[in-house]
């Protein structure tokens, strides 16, 4: 009888171990299955979760600034300190999270602000008056005032369309800017044509009936856009390409409006027309293999803005932020420190 009870207890213990392994396996299987389902069925959801995760990991908080019925969405990290605050302006059809790759390599004590440009992502969408370069400058100035970023001169960073806006902003509000970095900025009359310039000519000849390369509607077109914008060839799964298309598709009509505004007569060369008014120290970063805005634009800027620092990146296209994030962050930080040191030396000598 005693042996029976010992045997029964042993069997019960074995069953408990089996149940424990079963529960543990099920617990692990649920998130794995959820991930696979998201990847295969709802890749757009997975992309949003990815951005949320990286913002959280990097310590960025998302906030909103309301200005007379107009709302800006922005993320930030840190507080104003010894170094100037950094305001980052993204490019056409992108959003504030495009800067995550660069923020990753910037010191955590820096005060960094990444804002959704007018009409993009979480910022209010109104009308075409706000989408021209001059209109975006007015709105960004409104945003800067609403969060009191201009209490102290700040460093302004802009890429592509955001570079065009940043340059015009610095020309219009010079006292607010202590220094500036333009990354492959749009808005320059560059002497050499690019692959995108050829696309643009074809679009104009067709009276804009052809698809705009920067507004993809299928996974294949999304892949073509990556090839156009990046020299580095990223291997992106078809499901992720589909997810990116799904995320952007509801906004394509808006992107078309913005595109027509920024290539219009008032905006296309806005930066070029304002270069002579830029007085703050200027850094230009450009990918040598840029197929959207030709790298010869860097020479044009350097000739028109005295003392401009130019950093050209090998094996890099238009998507500098995505292709060379660590190098970009290092160059920006070096330039900020250099300018701050120069200002300190000037004050001591005077």
Interval 73-92: pLDDT, tens: 999 999 999 999 999 999 99
The domain that contains 296 carries what CATH number? 3.40.50.1820
Are 239 and 271 spatial neighbours (Cβ–Cβ below 8 Å)?
no
16, part of any domain = no
pLDDT over 90 for what percent of the chain?
Answer: 75
The per-residue pLDDT for 349 is 61
> Which residues, 6 or more positions from 324, have their beta carbon under 8 angstroms from its beta carbon?
287, 313, 316
What pLDDT does residue 37 have?
40
CB atoms within 10 A of CB 24: 10
pLDDT bracket for residue 346 (50, 70, 90): low
Q: Is the pLDDT of residue 7 over 50?
A: no
Q: Name which of 23-27, 52-56, 80-84, 153-157 the model is least confident about.
A: 23-27
pLDDT at 139 over 60: yes
CA–CA separation, 200 vs 212, rounded Å?
8
- 141 pLDDT exceeds 70? yes
Q: Report how many domains make up the chain.
A: 1
Residue 160 covered by a domain: yes
Given pLDDT bands bounded at 50, 70 and 90, which one contains residue 39?
Answer: very low
Q: Does residue 23 have a pLDDT over 50? A: no
Q: Which range marks the domain in which residue 248 is found?
A: 44-345
> Stretch 38-49: mean pLDDT, rounded?
65
Question: What pLDDT, on a 0 to 100 scale, did the predictor assign at position 28?
Answer: 41
pLDDT for 61 equals 97
36 within a domain of the structure (yes/no): no
Least confident of 35-44, 66-75, 202-211: 35-44
Mean pLDDT in residue range 182-205:
94
Q: Is residue 258 in a domain?
A: yes
Assigned domain for 195 exists: yes
341: exposed, middle or buried (Cβ count in 10 Å: 0-12, 13-18, 19+):
exposed
Q: What integer best gives the mean pLDDT of the chain?
A: 88
Query: Is residue 39 included in any domain, yes or no?
Result: no
Residue 127 pLDDT level (bands cut at 50, 70, 90): confident
Report pLDDT for 209: 84
Residue 128: pLDDT band by 50, 70, 90 thresholds? confident
Q: Are 89 and 117 in contact (CB under 8 A)?
A: yes
Average pLDDT over residues 259-272: 94
Catalytic center residues: 160, 290, 318
pLDDT mean over 113-123: 97
Domain-embedded: residue 15: no
């Amino acid at each position: 009888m005693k042996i029976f009870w010992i045997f029964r207890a042993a069997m019960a213990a074995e069953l408990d171990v089996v149940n424990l392994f079963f529960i543990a396996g099920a617990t692990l299987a649920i998130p794995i299955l959820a991930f696979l389902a998201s990847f295969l069925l709802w890749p757009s959801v997975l992309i949003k979760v990815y951005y949320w995760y990286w913002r959280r990991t990097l310590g960025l908080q998302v906030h909103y600034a309301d200005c007379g019925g107009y709302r800006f969405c922005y993320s930030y990290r840190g507080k104003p300190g010894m170094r100037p605050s950094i305001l980052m302006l993204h490019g056409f059809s992108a959003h504030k999270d495009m800067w995550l790759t660069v923020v990753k390599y910037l010191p955590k004590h820096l005060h960094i602000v990444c804002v959704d440009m007018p009409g993009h992502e979480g910022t209010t969408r109104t009308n075409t008056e706000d989408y021209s370069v001059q209109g975006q400058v007015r709105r960004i100035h409104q945003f800067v005032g609403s969060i009191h970023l201009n209490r102290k001169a700040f460093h302004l960073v802009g890429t592509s369309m955001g570079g065009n806006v940043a340059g015009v902003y610095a020309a219009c509000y010079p006292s607010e800017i202590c220094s500036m970095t333009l990354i492959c900025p749009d808005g320059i009359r560059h002497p050499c044509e690019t692959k995108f310039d050829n696309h643009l000519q074809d679009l104009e000849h067709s009276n804009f009936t052809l698809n705009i390369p920067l507004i993809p509607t299928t996974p294949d077109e999304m892949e073509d856009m990556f090839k156009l914008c990046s020299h580095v060839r990223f291997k992106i799964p078809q499901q992720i390409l589909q997810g990116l298309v799904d995320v952007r598709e509801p906004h394509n009509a808006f992107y078309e409006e913005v595109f027509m505004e920024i290539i219009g007569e008032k905006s296309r060369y806005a930066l070029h027309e304002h270069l002579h008014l830029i007085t703050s120290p200027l850094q230009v970063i450009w990918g040598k293999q840029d197929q959207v805005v030709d790298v010869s634009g860097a020479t044009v800027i350097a000739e028109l803005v005295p003392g401009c620092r130019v950093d050209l990146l090998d094996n890099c296209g238009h998507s500098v932020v995505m292709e060379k994030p660590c190098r970009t962050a290092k160059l920006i930080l070096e330039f900020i420190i250099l300018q701050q040191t120069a200002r300190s030396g000037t004050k001591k000598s005077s």
